[in-house]
Amino acid sequence: MPDSSPSRLADLPTPSLVVERSVFDSNLATMDAMLPGPRLRPHAKAFKSTSIAARLHADGHTGFCCATPREVEGLVAAGLTDDLLLANESLDVARLGALSDDAQITVAVDSDITLDAAIAGGVRSILVDVDVGLPRCGCDVADAGRLADKARASGLEVRGVMGYEGHLMMVTDTAKQAALVEASMATLLQAAEAVGGDIVSGGGTGTCITNTWCTEIQAGSYMLLDTDYAKQQLPFEISLNILATVISVSPKGWIVADAGLKSHGMDHGNPTWEHGDVFIMSDEHVTLQPHTLSDWSVGDRIRLLPAHVDPTVAKHEAMWLVDGDDVVDRWAVDLRHW
């Protein structure tokens, strides 16, 4: 932690992202027990911090999943070069090809054009991305073998397949989710037979229990979590909160704190406050209706729970790891942007 960083929770600037160490460590231990070592390919898009990636690497999760070329570049720069997967299609992959002497880099492709870009860009290994039901990327299962053959004919290593069942992450009934995941992954396993290679990559925090079909699970949100994931039957708890300062108290029944929609991912709605309701969000303000107005004064600190962790983290420069009232580390959010 930089020498100038605050050592006490009360001295942190606001708004700040705060991570509770005991909960964070517990989430990591739970996942380690379920998906040890390379069974988990942590998704850097969720935490966007090389400090957290280094911790996961030390715990045995040496391969990483990335959503952007910038995330790959940042992990390479941090020396976490064992096995980096860009799990999204991109035409901007020459910048990754240029790093392929320094790191094992694999890129997802789902079309001739994305495969051609990988070949032209000096990328050395690919996964074939297969449509498993989410309306997003992925080739038709019937086309997966052809793309793999073309890649091999061009000298690329075909490491296997990936398919993201993102449409099933928020199915809260575990038995129902398990059946849906099995059907979705049957498509991916069919593609894997045609493609070859050792890797069948998929899954996420929401399906990390029910997806027993992949060789590796692409989960990242589990360690910090959010109120949306907390509605599911998952063995993780929310370790992340947004620290804010009360800057105004109105006799009309509300208080205002200095964490607005620019410090929260808003696509899943408002954050949650344990002492009352969120009334309105503005750029840099949240107006709250406390259960008991008289409990609150200007200068008090509050904590908000994020509705969607990944975009919340991406809005901040750093997270602060705390143990009770002590700030024990500062994690730069250094994998942002593109």
Interface ranges with a copy of itself (CB under 8 A): 13-15, 45, 67-68, 88-92, 110-111, 113-114, 131, 135-138, 140, 166, 245, 247-252, 254, 256, 258, 261-263, 265-267, 279-285, 287, 297-299, 310-311, 314-317, 337-338
C-beta closer to a copy of itself: residue 23 or 208: 208
CB atoms < 10 A from the CB of 163, how many? 33
C-beta closer to a copy of itself: residue 113 or 328: 113
Half-sphere exposure of 178 (CA within 13 A, CB side): 7
Least distance (Å) from a copy of itself to the CB of residue 313? 10
Least distance (Å) from a copy of itself to the CB of residue 317? 5
Q: How far is CA 311 from the centre of its chain?
A: 9
Least distance (Å) from a copy of itself to the CB of residue 104? 22
Whether the Cβ atoms of residue 70 and residue 80 lie closer than 8 Å to each other = no
Using alpha carbons, select from 132, 255, 260 the residue that is nearest to residue 185: 132
Least distance (Å) from a copy of itself to the CB of residue 25? 25
d(CA 181, CA 206): 11
Name residue 51's amino acid: S
For 66, the token pair is 């990335």
C-beta closer to a copy of itself: residue 194 or 249: 249
Match 């020498």 to its residue by tokens.
3
d(CA 201, CA 73): 21
CA dist list (Å): 154 to 88, 149, 220, 276: 21, 9, 33, 60
C-beta closer to a copy of itself: residue 131 or 216: 131
Name residue 312's amino acid: T
Least distance (Å) from a copy of itself to the CB of residue 239? 20
C-beta closer to a copy of itself: residue 142 or 328: 142
C-beta closer to a copy of itself: residue 82 or 284: 284
Least distance (Å) from a copy of itself to the CB of residue 135? 5
